[in-house]
Structure 1
Amino acid sequence: MSMFNRNYILALIAAFAISACSSTPEDTTDDLSSAASQEDYSDSDSQVDGGAMGSGEYAAEEATDPALEERVVYFDFDKASIRPDAIATLQAHASYLSSTPAARLRVEGHADERGTREYNMALGERRAKAAASFLAANGASASQLEIISYGEERPIALGHDDGSWSQNRRAELKYTAEAP
């Protein structure tokens, strides 16, 4: 592990310990965005898949990049790191946010049902922060990002098997506002 990656991980741990269960992105993303860069995520552990938008969410109006249609980043068991196959999607959203200052994005972290409720809330928050940190490091403003964790409380799949659990380990990207 390179010294830069080790320092980044230590910064993440320190920020997490300081912020506990805070959901204000200004407190976490600003601190982490300066240390994060796209190289930090080259050997990480999450996947990307498409997500549906719910009511009350805005679509990216100028969505010319197909990667903007991807709205869910999946994670491996007990991991909160971004895998290489999620980079194009997150970069597309960061670029859109950078070019659209009025856009606002809520990053919702989730976990599967294994583990305690408290642990899963913290894990969901780490996943949301990882995605938000990547977005901030690649051009999004911290003021455009909101972080929230739902832990295990909002599963997509209701089964009690690896297939269901893998769908529930995710961070969802939901636009809440954007330029008219």
Structure 2
Amino acid sequence: MLGAGTGMDGNANGGNMSSEEQARLQMQQLQQNNIVYFDLDKYDIRSDFAAMLDAHANFLRSNPSYKVTVEGHADERGTPEYNIALGERRANAVKMYLQGKGVSADQISIVSYGKEKPAVLGHDEAAYAKNRRAVLVY
């Protein structure tokens, strides 16, 4: 039996969260898992990120007023121009994946930072792997 003052879902407010509050909570949960990593010099979406991206797509489809920016990044190897282009291809790959799952193109914007905003400083493969990414930002 649920404790006094809790609704069927266990919330103290009796489950009366507004749909906007529910969407905000769901978005906050999605932001805990919002990075797609890529192989060296690649921009194809790996299968191990499909479930995470599907969750983002479901949220965006269910909440058409929400928008996401996909930030593309690269590791430090390569010229600045090459890495900006690669980051853009990575961000665009995520955008196309989301659109393929029914998300409106109007909800998705992309930006590339190339190698300018590393997640990890370092000059080894472990650091490079963390920097080859696309980040979904709400």
Question: What TM-score do you get using the length of structure 2 for normalisation?
Answer: 0.79
Query: What's 1:8 paired with?
Result: none
Give distance in 1, aligned partners of 2:110 and 2:26.
Answer: 22
Q: Runs of 5+ in structure 2 lacking a partner?
A: 1-22
CA deviation after TM superposition for structure 1 residue 67, in Å = 5.9
SS in 2 for 1:109: strand
CA deviation after TM superposition for structure 1 residue 61, in Å = 1.6
Matched pairs, number: 116
Aligned AA for 1:76? D
CA deviation after TM superposition for structure 1 residue 69, in Å = 3.1
Aligned AA for 1:149? S
Query: What's 2:19 paired with?
Result: none
CA deviation after TM superposition for structure 1 residue 68, in Å = 6.0
Query: What's 1:104 paired with?
Result: 67
Whether the aligned pair in 2 keeps the contact of 1:63 and 1:69 (CA below 8 Å) is no
Question: What TM-score do you get using the length of structure 1 for normalisation?
Answer: 0.61
* Cα-to-partner distance string for 1:126-160 (whole Å, 9 max, x where unaligned): 00000010001102110000100000000011100
Whether the aligned pair in 2 keeps the contact of 1:67 and 1:88 (CA below 8 Å) is no
Query: What's 1:123 paired with?
Result: 86
What's the RMSD between the two structures over aligned residues?
Answer: 1.7
* Cα-to-partner distance string for 1:28-62 (whole Å, 9 max, x where unaligned): xxxxxxxxxxxxxxxxxxxxxxxxxxxxxxxx524
1:159 and 2:119 are equivalent in the alignment: no
Whether the aligned pair in 2 keeps the contact of 1:121 and 1:151 (CA below 8 Å) is yes
CA deviation after TM superposition for structure 1 residue 114, in Å = 0.2
Q: Deviating runs (4+, > 2 A) in structure 1?
A: 66-69
1:173 and 2:136 are equivalent in the alignment: yes
SS in 1 for 2:24: coil
SS in 1 for 2:61: helix
Larger radius of gyration: 2
Whether the aligned pair in 1 keeps the contact of 2:74 and 2:133 (CA below 8 Å) is yes
Q: Runs of 5+ in structure 1 lacking a partner?
A: 1-59, 176-180
Identity of aligned residues (%): 52
Give distance in 2, aligned partners of 1:68 and 1:117.
Answer: 28
